[in-house]
Amino acid sequence: GLGFNIVGGTDQQYIANDSSIYVSRIKKDGAAYLDGRLQEGDKIVAINGKDLKDLRHKDAVELFRSAGHYVSLKIQRRLQPQNGPVGHRGDGDGESGGLPLAAILVPGLALAATAVWILLRYRQRM
C-alpha cells in the first residue's frame, strides 16, 4: 500500500459540507512516512492526475488501490497557526507583540498597594 489511510467522500464527509478526501493517518515506516512530504490532515485533490472531487469514499479507496507503483498526489495543506491566533500578528490593529498590559499592571498595582500599606503601618508606629 501507499502507507496512509484516508477519510471523506460524498457519502462520508470528514468535514461538514466538504466531501473532499483527507489523509487521516500515516503508517509508520510506510511509503508515505518514508517519503516525508505527506502529512495527516492534508486534503488530497488528485491522484495520478485524476481529480478526487465528488467521489464516494469507496471509489476514492479503489483509485488509491489501483494507482500502481509510481503515484503522483496533488495535495492541499491547511496552514496551522504558529504561537497563537493568526489575527494578532501584524494585522495593523496597533497591538505589538510581547506581554499583555494586564501582565504588567496587575503585579505593579499589587506592589504599589503593598508599599502604601507598609508606609502607613510604619507612620502609625512613629
Ordered by where they begin, the domains of the chain are 4-76 (2.30.42.10)
Q: Give this prediction's pTM.
A: 0.62
Q: Are 76 and 45 in contact (CB under 8 A)?
A: yes
C-alpha cell at 107: 503585579
C-alpha cell at 15: 468535514
The residue count of the chain comes to: 126
Three-state DSSP class for residue 9: coil
User: What are the pLDDT digits (tens) for 32-82?
Assistant: 999 999 999 999 999 999 999 999 999 999 999 999 888 999 999 976 655
Mean pLDDT of 75-93: 60
CA distance 79 to 113: 46
CA distance 73 to 52: 10
